[in-house]
Homo-oligomer: A and B are copies of this chain.
Amino acid sequence: MVLYSKLSSEQLHAKFEEIKQLYDEFKDKGLDLNMARGKPSPAQLDMSMDIFDSVNALNGYSAEDGTDCRNYGNLTGLEECKTIFAQALGVQNDNIIVCGNSSLNIMFDYISQCMTHGTGNGNKPWMLQGNIKFACPVPGYDRHFSILEYFGIEMINIPMLETGPDIDVLEEVVMDPSVKGMFCVPKYSNPQGYTFSDETVKRIAALKPAANDFRIIWDNAYFVHDIYEDGDTLLNIFPEAAKRGTEDMIIEVASTSKVSFPGAGVAVVSASENNVRMFKQRMNAQIIGHDKINQLRHARVLKDANGLREYMKRHAVILKPKFDIVLQTLERDLGECGIATWTKPKGGYFVSLDVMEGCAKRVVELCRRAGVVLTNAGATYPYGKDPKDTNIRIAPSFPSLDELRQAMVILCLAVKLAALEKLIDEE
């Protein structure tokens, strides 16, 4: 192997023919492989089946405080369910509200709340403040961008570094009073798998935005989702924020979507006393209570933060070989070509791959034609626009090991083919 940039014109064309032939062989196989979304595999879901039987006629339906979880009542969630998250996130039970099945829904609803009611400290609703903006670490999570786009909130790209969002840039961007917040995934970021450094967390907690209704949506989606034993540690932002009096700036969410069942798990918000008060006030009008039975199912099986972490080790056993395949194939097939870089996360659900400039869309298209579905190129940027067209998100969790092996070989061929097309085109 050699760096593609060092190849002569003749070598480029020869290499192109070679790779094209290999690619075409796969294309003719009519494969149907999917690395598009961070979905747990059936084997992971099978692990959690005991959750379904933990609440029924045989095992009972009463919470520890005697609540009949089948009936109305209890606005903020069962204490035993709060405890699991409070322990794992390093906060108090009173800072936790257990909601429905979706942390995305909590985030959407929080933005909606800010639009119509503001942030609760005397500021006007965002809806009545004209054009407002959010800082968006990029590449980032497409569904965060979708929420902002739905509410017509302008998005400003902030580059992601290995240590988290580029804080120097962020500190400058928040000096604009129309910048009202930021979504981020602080641990095992989507798509890179980066974990914010202690310094980044501290400087985020110390932000002094011009807008005093600035809010950070701390989407801790992968809070216990280590894959390798030397997993990352995220500094708890709340004590850092408390030191600086910025607790109200942080809205943290987490869920069991990738612990138990996507769609049939429980999601929580963790927030300051002031924010919890505002959530409760809203919830009094919004809902009589979330699904306590499902909270109880989870509490009975997961028990506490230690139980949760033990549970996650079983997921890691299933996920590690998949991440190994992704990282080893990338290294083997692309390691010496100089046409791509990628992240090497210790947890989470994604690997972020950067291909040659202007090639990401082409790679995704080539994969699609060979039967491998990837997340759309551009999806990791606001408005679906990757300015350099380089980023591709790899989601290894759902396919089987065999499928993943094939899909990764095809992906690497596509990366090469797109690069060769570009290099030949530029001759």
Give the chain B neighbours of A146 by CB distance below 8 A. Answer: 284-285
Across the interface, name the chain B residue whose C-beta is closest to A48: B70
A147 to B262, CA, bound (A): 30
A147 to B288, CA, bound (A): 12
Interface pair A55/B57, CB less than 8 Å apart = no
A39 to B146, CA, bound (A): 38
Interface residues of A in 255-301 (CB under 8 A from B): 261-264, 282, 284-294
Instruction: Report A42-62 CB contacts with B as 1/0, cut-off 8 Å.
Output: 100100110011011100000
A100 to B125, CA, bound (A): 27
Interface pair A286/B108, CB less than 8 Å apart = yes
A88 → chain B closest CB, angstroms? 22
Interface pair A57/B68, CB less than 8 Å apart = no
A291 to B101, CA, bound (A): 7
A112 at the B interface (CB under 8 A): yes
Give the chain B neighbours of A37 by CB distance below 8 A. Answer: 72
Give the chain B neighbours of A71 by CB distance below 8 A. Answer: 39-40, 42, 45, 261-263
A208 to B281, CA, bound (A): 35
Give the chain B neighbours of A327 by CB distance below 8 A. Answer: none
- Interface-centre pick from A69, A125, A287 (highest chain B CB count, 10 A): A287
Give the chain B neighbours of A73 by CB distance below 8 A. Answer: 263
A234 → chain B closest CB, angstroms? 24
With A52-B56, A291-B101 known as contacts, the answer to whether A69 contacts B264 (CB < 8 A) is yes
Interface pair B147/A264, CB less than 8 Å apart = no
Interface pair A287/B105, CB less than 8 Å apart = yes
A264 to B146, CA, bound (A): 29
A73 to B39, CA, bound (A): 9
A256 → chain B closest CB, angstroms? 12
Q: Which of B40, B49, B291 contacts A57 (CB 8 A)?
A: B49
A149 at the B interface (CB under 8 A): yes
Interface pair A151/B55, CB less than 8 Å apart = no
Interface pair B150/A285, CB less than 8 Å apart = yes
Interface pair B125/A286, CB less than 8 Å apart = no
Give the chain B neighbours of A108 by CB distance below 8 A. Answer: 285-287
With A53-B56, A127-B127 known as contacts, the answer to whether A287 contacts B72 (CB < 8 A) is no
Give the chain B neighbours of A69 by CB distance below 8 A. Answer: 263-264
A42 to B71, CA, bound (A): 8
Interface pair B56/A55, CB less than 8 Å apart = no
A11 at the B interface (CB under 8 A): no
Subset of 8 A-B contacts with CB under 8 Å: A69-B264, A100-B101, A104-B286, A146-B284, A150-B286, A263-B293, A264-B293, A291-B291
